[in-house]
């Protein structure tokens, strides 16, 4: 499950709030005691951001906001806001009604939770408060999935959620600008995977459907209205056309209405091809695919049916499944993950005898096929994303931390950035170099430029002498004189003197003259003066000679210089 806490510039942000689908007890929820041992989370979080509608990213949201307690803003894209409550309600129904669990959120809680949602548009900067701002980027993967850029002052973090770098039949590829975040947070599983091409997965799907149809079998494809249904329909339609196949393909009613409704709403979230198609016609207007009537399930001969719901837990898809399960010529293709407690989950775990209502058993003789069409990035994709965003540090989550040295090394070598891989429960501290903007007075700037030498290189740091004044929220750099004036202080000049003893029998004047001549010969290029008042000056360093009172052959040289000179001559 995904649930990451980020503290940046004094702000606390929760990224995703997912449910762990493998556990039946409270271990499925994130452990919020990391935030606070007791009480509500509102005071501890500035905002919550949800990347997309998959349950391992948003499944625990109503639990967090209504049962643990959080009243602050929850950000997500418009499609996510529309689809999340549907999935959460389905999930709740299965868990509570079917499995009879008690420590779970209610329908009302889902509604109350969604009231706290503030929807996001792509590429639009949203001010959460006067210091924290966020921006959503297109992530591909599923409808409405976003990567999010979080900025506080000059520090920033990008969280990718789930994304993919290759466009598919109905979604585009993830994209982000060169925002140079201090940290880029992504999944480590991507980096250790090399994905089989989309076409091969589609091929497998077509092959299975075709083989079943050829032997006279019926194929049931339970789908979620907004999942792969549209994509798989386009695929079958093209295939049927090419192969001149005659077996009927149906989709259940309700599926098309919902799908059309959502796609119309969120057309900007799909890819170019879909948008073009949609302009020309209705999304579900196909030549070979027709609306299903429940009586067709009893028709003899081969057919393909797309029906909801996707996990076979209720409704039409379950009804059809019950009718077709007993014939080994038939097939059911599950195109996605099924939650525990559903029939879908059971048959995907190999169960061949199912207990139905009224204690009757259903023998599962048909062929069960599990296919994964979800679009995820892989090793190549993650490197592409890093190249796009140019983060200063990389953070990979959900990996087997012990074993990720190679990957860490690869990222560090290729991009010269640090790569962190915290385990669950571990805290990582990343030091950043925040840039602090400071105004500089024109006089000071002019003076520094007048110092001569080659023109300053804007990219190279340069030492300069000034005074930094911090007043209210502004910082400015001024010359020392100006600072003294502004502060109403007097200037004090410091001169340093040191004594050097020499053995020299000559007179003071002669010794001084000899020193003068010597310095003139070794310190070429410097202004050396022998003044009438009995001193030698090297630039502004003053040298005086006097004899020691005890011994006239011991001369004492006094060297005196002002504070300013130290860094020039040392």
Chain contacts with other proteins (rule: CB under 8 A)? 191-197, 199-204, 206-207, 210, 238-239, 242-243, 348-350, 367-372, 378-380, 383, 402-407, 409-410, 413
Strand ranges for 308-360 from DSSP E: 331-334, 353-355
Q: How far apart are CA 322 and CA 316, in angstroms?
A: 10
Please say whether the beta carbons of 301 and 237 come within 8 A: no
Kindly state the smallest distance separating residue 106's Cβ from other proteins, in Å: 33
Q: Which residues does residue 546 pair with via DSSP β-bridges, in sequence order?
A: 556
Measured from the CB atom, the residue of 191 and 225 that comes closer to other proteins is: 191
Q: How far is CA 311 from CA 109, 206, 236, 365, in A?
A: 23, 21, 21, 18
Nearest approach, Cβ of 206 to other proteins (angstroms)? 6
Task: Quote the crossing angle between the two packed helices 107-115 and 78-92, to the nearest 10°.
Answer: 160
Pick the closer one to other proteins by CB: 31 or 241. 241
Phi-psi region of 144 (alpha: psi -120 to 50; beta: other; left: phi over 0): left
Q: Return left, alpha or beta for 544; rule: phi > 0 is left, psi -120 to 50 is alpha, else beta.
A: beta
* Active-site annotation holds for 257: no
For the bound state, the minimum distance from the C-beta of residue 263 to other proteins, rounded and expressed in Å, comes to: 23
Give the residue among 41, 61, 68 at the shortest CA–CA distance from 115. Answer: 61
Residue number with CB closer to other proteins (371 or 430) = 371
> Is 138 buried (19+), middle (13-18) or exposed (0-12) by CB count in 10 A?
buried
Smallest distance, other proteins to C-beta of residue 271, A: 14
- Please give the distance of CA 388 from its chain centroid, rounded to a whole number: 13
Instruction: Give 238 or 560: the residue with its C-beta nearer to other proteins.
Output: 238
Q: To 5 degrees, how large is the angle CA 452–CA 458–CA 463?
A: 55
Q: Which is nearer to other proteins, 133 or 204 (CB)?
A: 204
- The 3-class SS string of 416-481 reads CCEEECCCCCCCCCCCCCCCCCCEECHHHHHHHHHCCCCCCCCCCCCCCCCEEEEECCEEEEECHH
187, 202, 231, 369: which is the annotated catalytic residue? 187
Q: Is 411 helix (H, G, I), strand (E, B) or coil?
A: helix
The partner residues of 76 in beta bridges, in order of sequence, read 119
- Of the two residues 400 and 481, which places its CB atom closer to other proteins in the complex? 400
CA atoms within 13 A on the CB side of 431: 0
Q: How far is the CB of 91 from other proteins (least distance, A)?
A: 21
Shortest distance in whole angstroms from residue 348 CB to other proteins:
6
Q: Residue 525 has which token pair?
A: 């290029």
Whole-number minimum distance, CB 199 to other proteins, in Å?
Answer: 6
Task: Between 66 and 369, name the residue whose CB sits nearer to other proteins.
Answer: 369
Task: Check if the beta carbon of residue 562 is closer than 8 Å to that of residue 491.
Answer: no
Query: Based on CB atoms, which residue is closest to other proteins, 196 or 439?
Result: 196
β strands within 241-389, DSSP E: 249-251, 289-291, 303-307, 331-334, 353-355, 361-363, 367-370
Greatest CA separation for the chain: 130
| Nearer to other proteins (CB atom), residue 40 or residue 380 | 380
Going edge to edge, which strands form the sheet with 4-8? Answer: 4-8, 11-15, 47-49, 74-77, 117-120
First to last CA, the chain: 61
Quote the least distance from Cβ 240 to other proteins, whole Å.
11
Catalytic residues, by residue number, are: 187
């Amino acid at each position: 499950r995904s649930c990451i806490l980020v503290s940046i510039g004094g702000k606390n942000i929760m990224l995703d709030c997912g449910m762990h689908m493998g556990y039946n007890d409270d271990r499925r929820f994130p452990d919020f005691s990391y935030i606070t041992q007791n009480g509500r989370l509102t005071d501890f979080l500035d905002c919550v951001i949800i990347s997309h509608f998959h349950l391992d990213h948003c499944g625990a949201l109503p639990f967090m906001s209504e049962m643990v307690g959080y009243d602050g803003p929850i950000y997500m894209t418009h499609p996510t806001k529309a689809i999340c409550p549907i999935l959460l309600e389905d999930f709740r129904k299965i868990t509570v009604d079917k499995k009879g669990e008690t420590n779970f959120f209610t329908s009302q809680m889902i509604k109350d939770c969604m009231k706290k949602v503030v929807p996001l548009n792509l590429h639009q900067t949203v001010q959460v408060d006067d210091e924290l701002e966020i921006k959503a980027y297109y992530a591909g993967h599923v409808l409405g999935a976003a990567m999010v850029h979080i900025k506080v002052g000059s520090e920033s973090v990008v969280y990718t959620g789930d994304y993919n770098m290759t466009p598919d039949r109905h979604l585009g590829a993830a994209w982000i600008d060169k925002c140079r975040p201090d940290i880029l947070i992504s999944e480590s599983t991507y980096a250790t995977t090399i994905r089989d091409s989309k076409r091969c997965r589609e091929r497998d799907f077509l092959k299975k459907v075709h083989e079943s149809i050829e032997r006279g079998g019926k194929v049931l494809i339970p789908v979620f209205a907004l999942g792969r249904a549209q994509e798989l329909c386009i695929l079958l339609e093209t295939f049927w056309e090419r192969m001149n196949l005659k077996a009927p393909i149906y989709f259940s009613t309700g599926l098309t209405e919902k799908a059309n409704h959502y796609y119309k709403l969120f057309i900007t979230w799909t890819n170019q091809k879909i948008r073009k198609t949609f302009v020309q016609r209705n999304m579900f207007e196909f030549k070979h695919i027709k609306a299903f009537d429940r009586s067709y399930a009893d028709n003899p001969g081969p057919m393909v049916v797309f029906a909801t719901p996707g996990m076979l837990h209720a409704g039409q898809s379950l009804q059809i499944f019950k009718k077709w399960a007993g014939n080994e010529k038939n097939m059911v293709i599950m195109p996605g993950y099924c939650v525990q407690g559903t029939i879908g989950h059971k048959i995907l775990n190999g169960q061949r005898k199912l207990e139905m209502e009224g204690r009757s058993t259903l023998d599962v003789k048909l062929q069960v096929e599990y296919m994964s069409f979800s679009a995820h990035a892989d090793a190549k994709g993650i490197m592409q994303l890093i190249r796009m965003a140019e983060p200063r540090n990389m953070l990979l989550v959900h990996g087997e931390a012990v074993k990720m040295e190679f990957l860490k090394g690869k990222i560090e070598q290729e991009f010269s950035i640090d790569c962190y891989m915290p385990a669950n429960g571990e805290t990582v501290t990343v030091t950043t170099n925040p840039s602090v903007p400071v105004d500089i007075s024109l006089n000071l700037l002019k003076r520094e430029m007048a110092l001569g030498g080659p023109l300053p290189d804007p990219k190279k740091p340069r030492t300069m002498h000034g005074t930094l004044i911090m007043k209210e929220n502004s910082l400015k750099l001024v010359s020392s004189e100006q600072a003294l004036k502004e502060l109403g202080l007097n200037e004090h000049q410091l001169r340093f003197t040191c004594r050097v003893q020499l053995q020299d029998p000559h007179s003071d004047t002669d010794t001084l003259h000899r020193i003068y001549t010597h310095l003139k010969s070794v310190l070429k290029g410097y202004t050396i003066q022998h003044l009438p008042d009995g001193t030698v000056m090297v630039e502004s360093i003053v040298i005086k000679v006097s004899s020691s009172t005890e011994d006239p052959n011991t001369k004492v040289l006094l060297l005196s210089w002002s504070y300013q000179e130290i860094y020039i001559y040392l």
